[in-house]
Amino acid sequence: MTEFSKFHNPYDFSNPVLDIDVFAGREKELQEIRYYLEQAKTAPQPINLALLGQRASGKTSLLNITEIEGNLRNFCTVRIDLDEGDAETQFAFFYKLFDGLLLAACEFGAFGGIHGKTYDTYLNVINAYKIPENSSFCPFIFPTQYAKAMSSDNINMSLSDNSYKRDLRAIQKELNKPVLLLFDECNVLSQSRVHLEKIRNIFMNLPGYMLVFTGTPDLFPVIDQIFSPIIRQFKKINIVEFETKEETKDCVRKPLEKLGILPEEIFDVETYRDVSEIHDLSGGRPYEIQLICHFLFRRIQKKQSTKMKLNLSVLEEVRRELENFQDISTRPILSKIRNLNKKQLQALKLLTASCKNANFEQLWTIEYVFNAEINWSRNDLEQEYQYLLKESIIRFHNEGNEIDFNGDDFDKIYAKYLARERKVSLGLSNRPLELLIDMKIDFVKKDIEGLKQIELFLVSSTGNLRNLLWNNMSLNNDDVFDDPALGIPLYKAMLDYRDNETIPVVSVKFDLDWLKVKFWYYPEKPSFINAIDDLIQKLAVIKARTHEINGDLTIELENVKLIPVEILTNKIQELYDEKYKNILTSYHVRKVFIEYLHKNNSKEALFNCELAYYYSSSDIHIQINLSYLFLVNDNVDKAKNLLQTALQNGILDSELLALANYNMGIAEIKSSNVIASLEQINLCIEISQNLECSDRICLCLLIPKINNGQIIFAEVREKDLLEVACEARTNLEYWLKFSEN
């Protein structure tokens, strides 16, 4: 059992993400950012970006990753973290911009570097207000203007657009590379129209510069007013909560894997049920996910728990942490929520299950169809509805009658944890009605053993979801693979049934005046075929109640023809881009871990390993992990190919570099190159000696041993890489001496 107390807590809820290895989700957003960065390298006028989201939505984390992506593409990246003082005067703002830009340029070696005469002269100008007699060492206009304005206390002096642009051109010419300007917390500029106008005038026709802003959504109307016509050069990227449990799973999984901890050790391996609870409670907000996981991991470190599982104690700790951030007594809505009884909280849960998307009639209809009047009569629910409206705990969204929670983001977070302590799971989510129906069916089928859903994948908007779910296409139609949202889940189902000719799939289709939605389910294994009959039987009562309200529920059984694995994988390889192939690679790698480490099913593990290798991945962790299983199965060529790719990457962390060299050493032994193997293992030892003990623990290693003059291999688990490498070297040196004699 891993000793978790030796690790630091990997869940940092108080700071944005700085490490791309632990950055989760946002695949669609990153794809757009990468596209526009690539365009900016050659385009005469780059497209600027605005990353827009609510507080604590992850904008700054995404900006950090944008900076990393810019650095990887050889941009000169300049980070400008704004505060309210920067908005007070033009010179305060544009000095901060110029100072950050020149420092970044000099760090790239421009103008003689940061230890050169130019930068030293610049520091004298802006710090001591000393104007040099020889301007050749400070070939800029703005620093001189700044020094003169500051020394004469003329801080409100207007900035010269033309001279500032001249300086920016000079810097970009000296750099001879594109410049990426990253502005965080741009809402501080929303009251400074003149600053935004200056930015427009300076950058509208200035080549070589790309701007990235972060702010809340209400920033963009301000930019719309100020930036015309430059608004055409801005691309909005909306940052919302994680919409899929897969994204939340990554947010939970990646920090653990970065430390070398296998998530399956402390989570429900098969279903990730605990992760699902975290997703539902947090609403998919990265800050909340990190906050919850921080306390869950801390309890394991303190030996208060063996699993990262939500319970009352954890919820109390999280709520107390939230109270440290805010004076709860100044928030009237929270006082009102604290006074609600359990029945009223349950009404609030039902009425805010689809915030901004559903009215009372729609929510009551869904409640009646699935639960009849077991929990609520219409009259009782309507009374609570009117009370919550009167107390201003809920409100109508915009001009319609769709229900919304009346508090801000903090009120939502606190209310959820307060309610959970009283055993009521408030969602307070904007989930579409389609997903609300999906959750209701999940509850209906929760006791049916072996029934799996063909879950929709990476669907980002209500409209797309509705169109996809109501599509009447047959799952037997190959065109279904054209859209990864349905193609990838169907691909996974077909692999589950690859030894059969067909998959029995039941489709469940709701048709209401205001909602049309369709889902698919299949038995996890052929032996669970009765699960379909159980589902149809359970849905019969719901079908009857749907007819009562003049709706329709259609349940149909379809035998889906299986596509042979080779043809199926070729189809995926042909149709899907790198993003979706990486997603499938990660899926198969997780299956490798589960099948090999927890089920001891080497055959199934190797099957998934081969598929992960087929789709390929640039992720170094994945390359090294897959190489190990190929070594176990004596597929040395594929193992070497993966390890060579990883080692040629050139940016490996020391612990990964040590492991890659060790595994390459094992590959060389299996290729009968013992001398070459010793060279690789010696490299591993050299690197490992400089690592902390905790960074050297490896989940699985092969170690060469000598048996009757022959080299055999034994697998060891959770061992110190340095100790194993030293033992391997000793054994190989002994074998060489033995073979010489």
CA distance 264 to 261: 9
Reading the block at residue 627, the tokens are 């190489």
Read off the pLDDT of residues 616-636 as tens digits, 9 standing for 90 and up: 877 788 889 899 999 999 999
Least confident of 184-188, 287-291, 704-708: 184-188
Residue 678 CB contacts under 8 Å (≥ 6 apart), including other chains: 665, 729, 732, 733
- What pLDDT score does 659 carry? 94
Give the lowest-confidence range in 306-320, 510-524, 658-672. 306-320
| The predicted structure's pLDDT at residue 135 | 65
Q: Which of 219-228, 313-322, 726-735 has the lowest mean pLDDT?
A: 219-228
What proportion of the chain, given as a percentage, has pLDDT over 70?
93
Whether the per-residue pLDDT at 245 is higher than 90: the answer is: no
Task: Return all residues near 547 (Cβ < 8 A) that are at least 6 apart.
Answer: 553
C-beta of residue 693 within 8 angstroms of C-beta of residue 720: yes
Please, what CATH class does the domain formed by 618-740 belong to? Answer: mainly alpha
Q: Average pLDDT in the 509-520 region?
A: 91
What CATH number is given for 26-239 in this structure? 3.40.50.300
What is the band of 461 on the pLDDT scale with cuts at 50, 70, 90? very low
Candidate ranges 91-100, 217-226, 670-679; pick with highest mean pLDDT: 670-679
Rounded Cα–Cα distance for residues 155 and 212 (Å): 27
pLDDT band at 460 (very low <50, low <70, confident <90, very high): very low
Q: What percent of the chain has pLDDT over 90?
A: 40
Task: Please give the average per-residue pLDDT across 378-403, as a whole number.
Answer: 94
Q: Is 90 exceeded by the pLDDT of residue 699?
A: no
Question: Distance (Å, rounded) from C-alpha 524 to C-alpha 33?
Answer: 38
Long-range contacts of 538-542 (CB under 8 A, 24+ apart): 538/444, 538/445, 538/448, 539/444, 539/508, 542/369, 542/370, 542/444
Mean pLDDT of 636-665: 88
C-alpha to C-alpha distance for 615 and 580, rounded to whole angstroms: 10
Provide mean pLDDT across the span 319-347.
Answer: 84
Q: Whole-angstrom Cα distance, residue 706 to residue 716?
A: 15
Q: Residues with Cβ < 8 Å from 391, sequence gap 6 or more?
A: 336
Q: Kindly state the average pLDDT of the residues 10-14.
A: 87
- Average pLDDT score over residue span 564-591: 89
Q: For residue range 189-218, what is the model confidence (pLDDT) as tens digits?
A: 777 777 888 888 888 778 899 999 988 877
* Residue 134, pLDDT score: 65
Q: Mean pLDDT, the chain, as a whole number?
A: 86
Structure tokens, 645: 């790719």
**Lowest mean per-residue pLDDT among 214-223, 519-528, 699-708:** 214-223
Q: Which pLDDT score is estimated for 231?
A: 56
Please say if the pLDDT value at position 328 is more than 90: no
Beta bridge partner(s), residue 392: none
Region(s) of the chain under CATH 3.40.50.300: 26-239
CB under 8 Å to 514, separation ≥6 — which residues? Answer: 362, 433
Nearest C-alpha neighbor of 226 from the set 259, 258, 198: 198
Reported confidence tier of residue 741, pLDDT bands at 50, 70, 90: low
pLDDT for 325 beyond 80: no
**Averaged pLDDT for residues 579-597:** 87
Ranges of CATH 1.25.40 domains, the chain: 618-740
Residue 182 has pLDDT above 90, yes or no: yes
